[in-house]
Amino acid sequence: MAKSSKKQALGRGLSAILNDPSKDINTAQDKNADKVIGSMIEIPIDSISTNPYQPRTNFKEEGLKELATSIKELGIIQPITVRKTGFNTFELVSGERRFRAAKSIGLKTLPAYIRIANDRESLEMALVENIQRQDLDPIEIALSYQRLIDEIQLTQNELSDRVGKKRSTVTNYLRLLKLDPIIQTGMRDGFLSMGHGRALINIEDRNIQLALYKKIIAKGLSVRATEALVKKEKDQHAKPSSEHSTPQFALSVAQEMEQVLKTKVRVKTNSMGKGSLQIFFDSQEALNAIRNQFNSES
């Protein structure tokens, strides 16, 4: 009981600081900032706005109703995280499902951890924290990874460290963004798994991608069956081999470059071992991404 009283007293003390305009805290250097940053306090729900950088775009109604019922019975078990944006105003960093569910049952306040961060830091915190959620679909994760690369200027190595994933895992998610948008939507809606997507990405022609996608949906093909279907399609369109075969070392280098650059790389060699590399791109943005990848690796 003593522990509970102490916790409530702490909340009242923080409330006094946050509700006094003369003591308003806007930066980590302001007086009493150390008492606010990282502390938990009950915040009026009407003073919290949603995060425009929220990577999750699909909030399933059934899941929110179940969470709302749980909150109604047990309360908020895990506080949300917010950043202070002004006097007595806050913006969500993580916990939007809890925020939405609590609001739907009429809660007036929410327990929250307070952070003070600029927009760039808020974006990074929101993306990294939400990537850890279990209910993000593969495309949402891939888009979040891409935003961290584009907007926070992280390299793939830095990104893999931030999110605690192997670089190969990060690369596999990012490659999903090369799928036709219709297929990406199918993955977001749960018609395809990440395994299906990883198989289809091996088909460059988007028209063929879509034709195979329709066949997968119509026949309810498994990932393994999809991989076999893709292999059959690639074998049918394989070019006849020439008299001179490309050395394995050159093919291996081209394959490694494809994984790093996330685009097709073609290698040609002659019988003397000399050759050339051809790197493909389909837009100025894609070319800039390739250039940035070279710069980050140098």
Instruction: Give the active site residues.
Output: 96
DSSP secondary structure string, the chain?
Answer: -HHHHHHHHHHHHHHHHHT-GGG---STTSTTHHHHTT-EEEEEGGGEE--TT-------HHHHHHHHHHHHHH--SS-EEEEEEETTEEEEEE-HHHHHHHHHTT-SEEEEEEE---HHHHHHHHHHHHHT-TT--HHHHHHHHHHHHHHS---HHHHHHHHT--HHHHHHHHHGGGS-HHHHHHHHTTSS-HHHHHHHTT---HHHHHHHHHHHHHHT--HHHHHHHHHHHHHHTPPPP-SSPPPHHHHHHHHHHHHHHTS-EEEEE-TTS-EEEEE--SSHHHHHHHHHHHHHH-
Return the biggest CA–CA distance within the chain. 85
- Cβ contacts of 208 within 8 Å, gap of 6 or more: 233
- Give me 199's structure tokens: 């198989």
Q: How would you list the strands of the sheet with 48-49, edge to edge?
A: 40-44, 109-115, 80-86, 89-94, 48-49
